[in-house]
């Protein structure tokens, strides 16, 4: 039997995290099917069929699948689950929204945000804000798993030639209606996928001062992140939050500026390859996880760093 992966997309573009989810699926079984649920999502299907090593792309289209509403997607996923040993999705806000609903409809206990596959029924996942790694064995007939994208190397986006099979849509339930969306526009790399992330915290003091951080980020072609304190204070939008309840990142280089390093923030970045901390408080907990620490006033350091990088 094969493994089913739920594709993450916005009808126009297949999201890169799907490649990480497919890689996790391949680690379980070589026969991987990708499920695309959406509307007018031709480019997504094309990209999906080219992923290296995917056997089949299942496509379900209906106008009411446009906004990935959990109420509509979950019954379709649950109805297919019996044909598979495992059902996977990336643990993004979308995956976290839809997959538990599908698992419950199938009377299965989902295992969230796995970071390692031990064998086909045993998985490792972080609990308690990443302070403990649990090894869990699933006793369910179908294993529902959400995977932490940073823990699995992406499959190649091309080289494959999967067959595309259209499957019927289920009837609309219309329990909820999509109203509107406001997406932050940014030319910087995507936070979850960037090689370098520059993050600011309360120490930045204002949203204007975040400009200093943006200048540095642009010099490094880095994505910008933030601590909860910076988001709550209104310095930046919530989708930049890194941590237990925000995004989990694992870039090559993470630069934490004016961030003390609370447990909840560390949960989102401590798997980064190299961590740099810049903080004027030499006792800040962030220095316990940083590879390179600089005790200094960020308002002196940021301009100097940006200048010396040009």
Restricting to residues 98-117, which ones interact with another protein according to CB under 8 A? 98-105, 107-113
Nearer to another protein, 102 or 162 (CB): 102
Distance CA 272, CA 153 (A): 14
Residues 220-239 that bind another protein (CB under 8 A): 220, 228, 231-232, 237-239
Angle, to 10 degrees, between the axis of helix 70-80 and the axis of helix 93-105? Answer: 50
Q: Is 19 in the site for another protein (CB under 8 A)?
A: no
CA distance 292 to 287: 8
- Count of residues that bind another protein according to CB under 8 A: 88
By CB under 8 A, residue 59 contacts another protein: no
Q: CA torsion angle for 46, 51, 53, 57 (degrees, to 10)? A: -40
Q: Which stretch binds another protein (CB under 8 A): 33-41, 46-54, 128-136, 200-208?
A: 128-136
Among 37, 216, 269, 301, binds another protein (CB under 8 A): 301
d(CA 140, CA 124) in angstroms, rounded, equals 16
Q: Is 279 in the site for another protein (CB under 8 A)?
A: no
Asked if 273 interacts with another protein (CB under 8 A), we say yes
Range list of β-strands (E), 230-280: 253-257, 274-279
Binding to another protein by residue 82, rule CB under 8 A?
Answer: no
Q: Does 77 bind another protein (CB under 8 A)?
A: no
Whole-angstrom distance, CA of residue 18 vs CA of residue 46: 14
Indicate the burial class of 185 (C-beta count within 10 angstroms; 0-12, 13-18, 19 or more). exposed
165 touches another protein by CB under 8 A: no
Task: State which of residues 1, 12, 127, 172 lies at the interface with another protein (CB under 8 A).
Answer: 127
């Amino acid at each position: 039997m094969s493994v089913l992966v739920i594709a993450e997309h916005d009808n126009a573009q297949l999201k890169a995290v799907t490649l990480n989810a497919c890689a996790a699926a391949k680690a379980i079984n070589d026969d991987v099917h990708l499920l695309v649920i959406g509307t007018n999502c031709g480019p997504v299907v094309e990209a999906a069929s080219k992923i290296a090593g995917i056997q089949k792309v299942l496509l379900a289209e209906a106008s009411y699948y446009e906004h990935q509403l959990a109420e509509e997607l979950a019954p379709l996923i649950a109805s297919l689950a019996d044909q598979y040993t495992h059902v996977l999705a990336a643990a993004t806000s979308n995956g976290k929204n839809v997959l538990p609903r599908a698992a419950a409809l199938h009377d299965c206990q989902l295992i969230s945000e796995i970071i390692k596959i031990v064998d086909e029924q045993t998985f490792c996942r972080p609990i308690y804000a990443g302070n403990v790694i649990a090894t869990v064995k699933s006793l369910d007939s179908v294993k529902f798993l959400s995977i932490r994208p940073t823990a699995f190397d992406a499959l190649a986006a091309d080289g494959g030639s999967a067959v595309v099979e259209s499957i019927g849509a289920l009837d609309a339930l219309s329990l909820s209606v999509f109203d509107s969306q406001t997406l932050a526009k940014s030319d910087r790399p995507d936070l979850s996928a960037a090689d370098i992330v520059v993050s600011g915290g309360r120490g930045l003091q204002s949203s204007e001062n975040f400009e200093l951080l943006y200048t540095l980020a642009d010099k490094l072609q880095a994505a910008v992140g933030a601590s909860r304190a910076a988001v709550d204070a209104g310095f930046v939008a919530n989708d930049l939050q890194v941590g237990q309840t925000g995004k989990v990142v694992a870039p090559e280089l993470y630069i934490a500026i004016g961030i003390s390093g609370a447990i909840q923030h560390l949960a989102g970045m401590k798997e980064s390859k190299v961590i740099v901390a810049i903080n004027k408080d030499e006792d800040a907990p962030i220095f316990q996880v940083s590879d390179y620490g600089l005790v200094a006033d960020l308002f002196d350091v940021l301009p100097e760093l940006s200048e010396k990088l040009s």
